[in-house]
Amino acid sequence: MNPVHADYFAGGAGEERTLRANLAAFDRLRIVPRVLRATGDRDLRTTLFGAELATPILVAPTAFHLLAHPGGEAATAQGAGAAGTVLVVSMAATQPVERIAEAGGPLWFQLYPQPDLAFTAALIGRAERAGCRALVVTVDSPVFGRRERDRRHGFTDLPAGLACENMRDDTGRVRSIEMDATLGWDRIGWLRGVTGLPIVLKGVLHPADARLAVEHGVDALIVSNHGGRQLDGAVATIDALPAVVAAVGGRVPVLVDGGIRRGTDVLIALARGADAVLLGRPVLDALAAGGADGVRDELRRLTADLDHAMALAGAKRPAELSPDLVVAG
């Protein structure tokens, strides 16, 4: 990869404290395994919104895959589909959602709600027609995070020939993605009025917001700090997860991303109450190294690592992973 583009993917906001905290938080947690649990024939299948997945590991929405590999987001979708899981297509994808859908595999669509409601509704309609099965609404970005690495490199625009293709309107013009600091809970009701897709709120860290989300009819939550790319100093997601899970009380699924690198990390997240996890940077690295096959192999590797960890921890299926299996080390 071009080193500037590699830094774009790897970097975080500010001093990158939250980026580091997402990883360090897992290092502070320890697994307390159970024994004699007859864990043969483990089953990692996970059901979300009525669809069965081969693994509780999904691919998080990330932008600009054509910077990592010529196959772009379509290659990522192909690899995720081969691994039996979902790709959440970024609104800032460098290929249109229709092209990504042609590659196969289940898709969800990530949205930054735009001030232009007509354009937002039209974009949601495109995602629906392409076959996306859920709408992931990112709510942690009223303004754009300060990415110091990008500022040092002067990386402000995509190279010539690339664009955020989902932002292309019906005139052929590519619009800029606008962060909207006026966004409030009323927009969730508006979204419910324009789509029948399940609405997943991404970027929830505070339990009070989790309760409000359920009250406003959201169908699932993603505990996320944007991979440390928005508010530097925000809490690590694995630390925020238990309080959000408690606030939701099982009323909707709770997913989590941030800092997940090994099967033991996935196990800890599931034991702390997550229904599934999402993987970001490792998938981009795998895409850069091996295209669709690289993505498939990375997801299969992590799933096999989780399977192995579950056998050693004494769990046959994800639902058997309980909070008492994890303690602070």
Q: In this structure, how many other beta carbons lie within 10 angstroms of the beta carbon of residue 211?
A: 16
Q: And the tokens for 122? A: 């039209």
Let me know: does 228 contact 12? Beta carbons within 8 Å: yes
Write out the catalytic residue numbers: 226
Q: How far apart are CA 237 and CA 168, in angstroms?
A: 33
> Can you list the pairs that 30-33 forms with residues at least 24 positions away whose Cβ atoms lie under 8 Å?
30/326, 30/327, 30/328, 30/329, 31/264, 31/267, 31/268, 31/271, 31/309, 31/313, 31/325, 31/326, 32/324, 32/325, 32/326, 32/327, 33/312, 33/313, 33/314, 33/325
The four Cα atoms 15, 203, 168, 178 give a dihedral, to 10 degrees, of -60
What are the C-alpha distances in Å from 98 to residues 73, 105, 134, 200, 283? 11, 13, 15, 21, 21
